[in-house]
Copies of this chain bind each other. A is one copy, B any other.
Amino acid sequence: MIEDRKLAVLRAIVEDFVSTNEPVGSKSLVERHQLGVSPATIRNDMAALEDEGYITQPHTSAGRVPTDKGYRLFVDRLSSVKPLSPAERKAIESFLSGATDLDDVVRRTVRLLAQLTHQVAVVQYPSLSRSSVRHVELVLISATRVLVVLITDTGRVEQRQVDVPTLLADDDIAILRNRFNERIAGHHLAEAPALLADLPGAVEPRLQPNATAILAAVLETLVERTEERVVLAGTANLARGGALDFPDTIRPVLEALEEHVVLLRLFGEVTDAHSVRVSIGGENPHEGLQTASIVTSGYGVATPLAGLGVLGPTRMDYPGAMGAVRAVARYVGHILAES
């Protein structure tokens, strides 16, 4: 009963504050929303909400502003993911459908997200460790130098050069290439090291040193490069709200964005599911992101391959951002499934 109205008040506060970027007072609240009660009543509710930690006032006798806790409640219970407008849906389709390869898909996706949400968009490359090997290609560059190219089923290509101890002929390379592909083509990357372990022992003695060297390179490519990559777009959007959104300067946020490791950790916690998740202000582990919120989702065909999302001030249009992230994640999943 009363609880219901308090929640309605909180919702109204969040909505107004997000759209106006000014602390919202009891009077303007009743004006802009049909709450059916007087400002005085609202004031009581607001006092209660403040006691419970959902809102706060920048200084005495100013309007109220949602706290992180208030946004959290809003996201969890008061808002629903906003479906995209047909126009937006159409934009996604036409924007992404022209993509030619994985790089292109990722680049287009990140720009699209930034444009849809007016926030900073982050897209993680389909993680190597969760894909499988489509093909290993060995290319002889010189008699003692081999280029190892690893192609995954998500279209990602990783390459690495390696020097081998003894001279190699084209035939030798072909043999080794076949050995590698027999064992791991079609298999999950994580399984590859085990499958390859005995490979040097299985080739004729003459080739063993070379096989060992190449194997090392392949394993490095498989394992070390599990290091993930992320792509950003829309950083200029951080400067939109002027000094309003970010307390002093946007610098710590920009710094955090450059530390891709930080972003990867954010995705790491999230990408085990396709659902949209939100991390708000102080919930965020990273120091520089205490005033930022992040909306993420895993994407990928069946089991999620990686994450994507947007980052902005806590004062963010959560329903809209969640809608955009969800829609884009789904669409990218489809695109990748087709290729």
- Measured CB to CB, the residues of A under 8 A from B are 100-101, 134-135, 137, 139, 141, 147, 149, 151, 155, 157, 159-161, 233-236, 238-240, 242, 249-252, 254-255, 257-258, 339
- Minimal beta-carbon separation of A240 from chain B (angstroms): 7
Which of chain B's residues have a CB closer than 8 A to the CB of A251? 236, 239-240
Among residues of B, the one whose C-beta sits closest to the C-beta of A136 is: B139
In the complex, the count of this chain's copies comes to 2
Which of chain B's residues have a CB closer than 8 A to the CB of A339? 161
Among residues of B, the one whose C-beta sits closest to the C-beta of A253 is: B236
Task: Decide: B258 and A234 in contact? CB cutoff 8 A.
Answer: yes
Q: What CA separation (Å) do A65 and B90 show in the bound complex?
A: 51
Which of chain B's residues have a CB closer than 8 A to the CB of A239? 249-251, 254
- Minimal beta-carbon separation of A167 from chain B (angstroms): 18
Task: Decide: B149 and A157 in contact? CB cutoff 8 A.
Answer: yes
Which of chain B's residues have a CB closer than 8 A to the CB of A249? 239, 242
Task: Decide: B141 and A139 in contact? CB cutoff 8 A.
Answer: no
Q: What CA separation (Å) do A101 and B227 show in the bound complex?
A: 14
Which of the listed residues A101, A240, A252, A339 has the most CB atoms from chain B within 10 Å of its own CB? A101
Say yes or no: A160-B254 contact (C-beta < 8 A), given A139-B135, A149-B137, A249-B242: no
Task: Decide: B157 and A157 in contact? CB cutoff 8 A.
Answer: yes
Which listed residue (B100, B101, B139, B254) contacts A236, Cβ 8 A? B254
- Minimal beta-carbon separation of A249 from chain B (angstroms): 5
Which of chain B's residues have a CB closer than 8 A to the CB of A151? 139, 147, 149, 159
